[in-house]
């Protein structure tokens, strides 16, 4: 009974942390499109808006609550016909009879429910491998994981892929231990759902095949050829049936077309920032770096200890090696060779496996405790690391997207290391609106990375170099009557500050020598240039580049005012 209470209590904590996170975030870059796509699939029964970039399952699941709100879906809007995905999503979210926040947060709630269920499955597998106490330890690591909370509160595909990927390996592990038809069916269902969540799940075929081959080599599995063939057939038939159901039987071809386009897109690369360097083809050490700086140090330590125990005992055919390290490690390795490296979230899949693996450190600990001389040290180290881990969560809450560990000085220094969804995904716009209101700042010069609408958060702004996949008419800013007493406040997203997606990588390099007066959500830097003639001069040049000559002249007048 106590065990059940602890499990429920920890999951409730995870859920509450997630709820508070959800209410503080403005939309991240792709959330409006994911939510709109999912609702359009449910409402029209047709796969159109985003179907070549993502399979539909996660998007449709997130959009289920919207069926009860019945927002308008104007498929006659020009952006629908022109396949302007982000423009249509912006129109749907911000110009509807249902509030944007109500729709978005209800979709996020669905993902948070999935995250909580995944936490329970992490507990269950760790308990089955190591026992109740390690299981509870794994659950605690999951509940307070900044990485899981960062993406377990967003309408994206990353968390659901992580869940179904984990469940596929878990059910396959059960089949390896008890090769029944039931377990083959469950593995097929989970694998099919993973494939319908994100195209990168296709790697499961290679990973499951590798596990099977290694199991035969090490004689870990002993199944007759006939039985193996039967179960493999069941597995394949079930996953094909799952894909057919999700794609409504007549649209399976969209899956293969989307997969083909995704592979082509990934092969083309994309601009990325890492520790002051830029690349469009990626680095082999990119995800290793993100792991080392975006994973709480105590979890790194626990994982390393568990890995060293496996190596020391030469347990090459152990469950830990085959079903925890290989699924996490192979996916990690494949991501490292990808040319598209825009976010730590692309290795989120590894975390549930590493958390279960890390919980295994308590198994050798119980043996060591039999030696009295080690008791004091063990009882001191494990709780201290766990307290450190929990404190890490509390300190960054609710800005989990922007979490960085102490290796690089915490989240306040994250923008010098990584950008985009690693740190700044547009989530700070709502908080910026609150800050401007508190400080009674009438309007702001804004250089925003994201698809959120500043007006929705009562932000009056002059747009400068937005990166948002929208057209100019969606973010025209405000017609502002300027005054000689106005403060010149410039707010810029960290991704834009580092010029991640600008051709000129020194576009805003001039800001680096100034200290921001405020950093919003660790992702939007606010500069007061009012009494800074050099800064005003650079801002004037920038306004000239974007063609805002009215405000350029005004800023020039402020320069003369300051000098006089």
Instruction: Quote the crossing angle between the two packed helices 158-177 and 181-195, to the nearest 10°.
Output: 160
pLDDT at residue 471, rounded to an integer: 86
CB-based burial of residue 330 (10 Å sphere; 0-12 exposed, 13-18 middle, 19+ buried)? middle
Helical residues (DSSP H) of 196-251, grouped into ranges = 203-217, 225-246
- Tell which residue, 62, 52, 45, has the closest CA to residue 105: 62
Q: Give 447's strand partners.
A: 492
Half-sphere exposure of 185 (CA within 13 A, CB side): 3
Q: Please give the sequence-ordered ranges of beta strands (E in DSSP) within 70-175, or none if there are none.
A: none
Per-residue pLDDT 10s for the chain (564 aa) are 788 999 999 999 999 999 999 999 999 999 999 999 999 999 999 999 999 999 999 999 999 999 999 999 999 999 999 999 999 999 999 999 999 999 999 999 999 999 999 999 999 999 999 999 999 999 999 999 999 999 999 999 999 999 999 999 999 999 988 888 999 999 999 999 999 999 999 999 999 999 998 888 877 776 666 788 899 999 999 999 999 999 999 999 999 999 999 999 888 889 999 999 999 999 999 999 999 999 999 999 999 988 887 887 767 668 888 999 999 999 999 999 999 999 999 999 999 999 999 998 887 655 544 455 555 555 678 889 999 999 999 999 999 999 999 999 999 999 999 999 999 999 999 999 999 999 999 999 999 999 999 999 999 999 999 999 998 889 999 998 888 888 999 999 999 999 999 999 999 999 999 999 999 999 999 999 999 999 999 999 999 999 999 999 999 998 888 776
Helical residues (DSSP H) of 425-532, grouped into ranges = 429-438, 494-497
151, 175, 201 from 183: Cα distances, Å:
29, 5, 20
CB-based burial of residue 308 (10 Å sphere; 0-12 exposed, 13-18 middle, 19+ buried)? exposed
pLDDT at residue 381, rounded to an integer: 82
Residue 449 DSSP symbol: B
pLDDT at residue 225, rounded to an integer: 65
pLDDT at residue 279, rounded to an integer: 96
Read off the tokens for 504: 């000129």
Label each residue of 411-480 as H, E or C: HHHHHHCECHHHCCCCCCHHHHHHHHHHCCCCCEEEECECCCCHHHHCCCEEECCCECCCCHHHCCCCCC
∠ at Cα 19 (15, 25), nearest 5°? 140
Instruction: Quote the crossing angle between the two packed helices 252-268 and 225-246, to the nearest 10°.
Output: 90
DSSP of 296-312: -HHHHHHHHHHHHHHHH
The 3-state DSSP class for residue 253 equals helix
- Tell which residue, 292, 310, 302, has the closest CA to residue 381: 302
The residue extents of the domains of the chain are 1-155, 157-268, 276-396, 420-563
Residues 6+ apart with CB under 8 A from 300: 292
Half-sphere exposure of 338 (CA within 13 A, CB side): 26
Q: Please answer whether residues 58 and 198 qualify as being in contact, where contact means their C-beta atoms are separated by less than 8 angstroms.
A: yes
CB-based burial of residue 134 (10 Å sphere; 0-12 exposed, 13-18 middle, 19+ buried)? buried
| Exposure b/e, 57-92, CB count within 10 A at least 16 = b | bbbbbbbebbeeeebebeeebebbeeebbbbbbbbb
CB-based burial of residue 215 (10 Å sphere; 0-12 exposed, 13-18 middle, 19+ buried)? middle
Residues 6+ apart with CB under 8 A from 82: none
Read off the tokens for 428: 């700070």
∠ at Cα 334 (330, 337), nearest 5°? 145
288, 363, 560 from 130: Cα distances, Å:
28, 6, 71
Q: Please answer whether residues 511 and 527 qualify as being in contact, where contact means their C-beta atoms are separated by less than 8 angstroms.
A: yes
pLDDT at residue 364, rounded to an integer: 60
- Tell which residue, 19, 345, 290, has the closest CA to residue 153: 19
Q: Give 493's strand partners.
A: 524
pLDDT at residue 380, rounded to an integer: 76
- Tell which residue, 475, 456, 457, has the closest CA to residue 467: 475
DSSP of 31-75: HHHHHHHHHHHHHHS---SSTTTS-SHHHHHHHTTHHHH-----T
- Tell which residue, 374, 355, 373, has the closest CA to residue 364: 374
Read off the tokens for 98: 């249902």
Q: Please answer whether residues 220 and 204 qualify as being in contact, where contact means their C-beta atoms are separated by less than 8 angstroms.
A: no
Helical residues (DSSP H) of 464-529, grouped into ranges = 494-497
Read off the tokens for 16: 């509450």
The 3-state DSSP class for residue 489 equals strand
The 3-state DSSP class for residue 564 equals coil
Q: How far apart, in whole angstroms, are the C-alpha atoms of residue 543 and residue 275? A: 28
The 3-state DSSP class for residue 528 equals strand
């Amino acid at each position: 009974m106590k065990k059940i209470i602890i499990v429920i209590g920890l999951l409730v904590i995870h859920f509450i942390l997630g709820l508070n996170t959800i209410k503080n975030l403005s939309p991240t870059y792709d959330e409006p499109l994911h939510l709109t796509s999912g609702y359009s699939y449910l409402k029209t029964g047709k796969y159109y808006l985003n179907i070549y970039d993502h399979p539909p399952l996660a998007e449709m699941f997130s959009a289920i609550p919207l069926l009860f709100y019945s927002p308008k879906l104007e498929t006659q809007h020009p952006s629908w016909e022109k396949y302007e995905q982000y423009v249509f999503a912006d129109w749907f979210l911000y110009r509807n009879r249902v509030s944007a926040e109500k729709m978005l947060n209800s979709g996020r709630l669905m993902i948070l429910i999935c995250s909580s269920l995944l936490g329970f499955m992490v507990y269950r597998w760790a308990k089955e491998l190591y026992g109740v106490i390690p299981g509870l330890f794994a659950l605690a690591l999951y509940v307070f994981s900044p990485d899981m909370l960062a993406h377990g509160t967003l309408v994206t595909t990353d968390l659901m892929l992580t869940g179904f990927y984990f469940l596929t390996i878990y059910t396959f592990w059960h089949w390896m231990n008890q090769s029944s038809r039931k377990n083959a069916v469950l593995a097929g269902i989970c694998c099919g759902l993973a494939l319908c969540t994100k195209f990168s799940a296709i790697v499961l075929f290679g990973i499951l095949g590798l596990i099977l081959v290694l199991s035969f080599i090490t004689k870990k599995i002993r199944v007759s050829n006939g039985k193996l063939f039967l179960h493999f057939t069941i597995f394949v038939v079930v996953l094909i049936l799952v894909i057919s159901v999700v794609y409504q039987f007549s649209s399976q071809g969209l899956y293969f077309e989307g997969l083909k386009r995704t592979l082509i897109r990934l092969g083309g690369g994309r601009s990325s920032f890492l520790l002051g360097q830029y690349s469009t083809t990626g680095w082999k050490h990119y995800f290793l770096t993100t792991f080392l700086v975006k994973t709480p140090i105590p979890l790194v330590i626990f994982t390393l200890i568990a890995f060293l125990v496996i190596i020391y005992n030469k347990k090459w055919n152990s469950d830990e090696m085959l079903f925890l390290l290989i699924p996490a490690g192979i996916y990690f390795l494949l991501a490292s060779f990808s040319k598209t490296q825009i976010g730590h979230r692309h290795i989120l899949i590894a975390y549930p496996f590493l958390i279960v693996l890390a919980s295994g450190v308590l198994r050798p600990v119980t043996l060591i405790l039999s030696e009295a001389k080690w008791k004091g040290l063990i009882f001191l180290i494990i709780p201290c690391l766990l307290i450190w881990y929990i404190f890490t969560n509390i300190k960054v809450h609710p800005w989990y997207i922007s979490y960085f560990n102490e290796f690089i000085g915490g989240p306040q220094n994250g923008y010098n290391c990584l950008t985009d969804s690693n740190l700044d995904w547009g989530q700070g716009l709502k908080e910026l609106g609150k800050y401007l209101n508190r400080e009674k700042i009438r309007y702001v010069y804004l250089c925003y990375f994201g698809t959120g609408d500043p007006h929705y958060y009562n932000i009056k702004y002059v747009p400068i170099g937005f990166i948002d996949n929208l057209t100019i008419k969606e973010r025209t800013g405000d017609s502002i009557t300027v005054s000689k007493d106005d403060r010149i406040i410039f707010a810029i997203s960290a991704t834009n500050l580092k010029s991640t997606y600008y051709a000129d990588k020194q576009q805003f390099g001039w800001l680096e020598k100034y200290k921001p007066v405020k950093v919003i959500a660790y992702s939007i830097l606010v500069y007061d240039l009012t009494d800074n003639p050099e800064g005003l001069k650079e801002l004037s040049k920038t306004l000239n580049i974007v063609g805002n000559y009215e405000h350029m002249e005004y800023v020039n007048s402020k320069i003369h005012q300051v000098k006089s």
